[in-house]
Structure 1
Amino acid sequence: MSKLPLDPDVADVAPTDSALTPYDNQHIVTYARLLQAESEGADWREVARIVLHIDPDHEPDRAQNAYLSHLARAKWVTGQGRLLRGAGSN
């Protein structure tokens, strides 16, 4: 069984599929970090820079869109119970 990277690069927009995707499985840690940052009131620009590896000073629209779409996906994954059970659960 291969280990997932803890800090993978992200796409410009998170998936919107109605089922968990391989991308979601690869980004469970990213989703958890986004949710934690939001719960702590972190500035989205700092989160985009650190968690998503996108510089909001150089690419503000891309950074904000990636942040918003990945945060929404993280909430969806959590709502499905996937984040808490782990990526391999059904």
Structure 2
Amino acid sequence: MREHVELDPDVDDDAPTGNDITPYDEQHYITYLRLLDAKAEGADWNEVARIVLHRDPVAEKERTYRCWQSHLERAQWLSREGYRKILEKAVAEGR
């Protein structure tokens, strides 16, 4: 049975760090993909933070920027290295 994927989840101030895929990462794959797409399109981080991360860059510019940066860095890690761990886990679970 397929798990429900939330398309626009709220986010924590900081994305996970480290070399393991976390439940938070699994809940936010769509968020990470949206951030990567926005970066590739050259979108303004303020707009991306407002739409994707549900943050107000006018009211809390530094906090919002750190949130955006943290999640973008995690998304980039997942696209460079972390996806291998996802594949390894799927193989181990026989998916």
Do the aligned partners of 1:13 and 1:69 also contact (CA within 8 Å) in 2?
A: yes
Is the helix fraction higher in 1 or 2? 2
Compute the TM-score of the two structures, normalised by the length of structure 1. 0.88
Is 1:73 the counterpart of 2:79? The answer is: no
Deviations 1:32-86 (CA, angstroms, capped at 9, x unpaired): 0000000000000000000000010011111100000000000001112529x77
Unpaired runs of at least 5, structure 2: none
Compute the TM-score of the two structures, normalised by the length of structure 2. 0.84
Q: CA RMSD in A?
A: 1.9
What is the SS of the residue equivalent to 1:58? coil
Unpaired runs of at least 5, structure 1: none
In structure 2, C-alpha distance between the alignment counterparts of 1:38 and 1:29, rounded to whole Å: 14
In structure 2, C-alpha distance between the alignment counterparts of 1:18 and 1:44, rounded to whole Å: 25
In structure 2, C-alpha distance between the alignment counterparts of 1:64 and 1:89, rounded to whole Å: 33
Paired AA for residue 52 in structure 1: L
In structure 1, C-alpha distance between the alignment counterparts of 2:18 and 2:29, rounded to whole Å: 15
Do the aligned partners of 1:82 and 1:89 also contact (CA within 8 Å) in 2?
A: no
What is the SS of the residue equivalent to 1:10? coil
Do the aligned partners of 1:30 and 1:51 also contact (CA within 8 Å) in 2?
A: yes
| Structure 2 counterparts to residues 1-90 of structure 1, below 5 A | 1-80=2-81, 82=83, 89=90
Runs (4 or more) in structure 1 with deviation over 6 Å come to: none
- Bigger-Rg structure (1/2): 2
In structure 2, C-alpha distance between the alignment counterparts of 1:69 and 1:89, rounded to whole Å: 26
Q: Would you say how many aligned residue pairs link Structure 1 and Structure 2?
A: 88
Residue 18 of structure 1 and its aligned partner are, at CA, apart by 1.2
In structure 2, C-alpha distance between the alignment counterparts of 1:50 and 1:73, rounded to whole Å: 18
Do the aligned partners of 2:32 and 2:75 also contact (CA within 8 Å) in 1?
A: yes
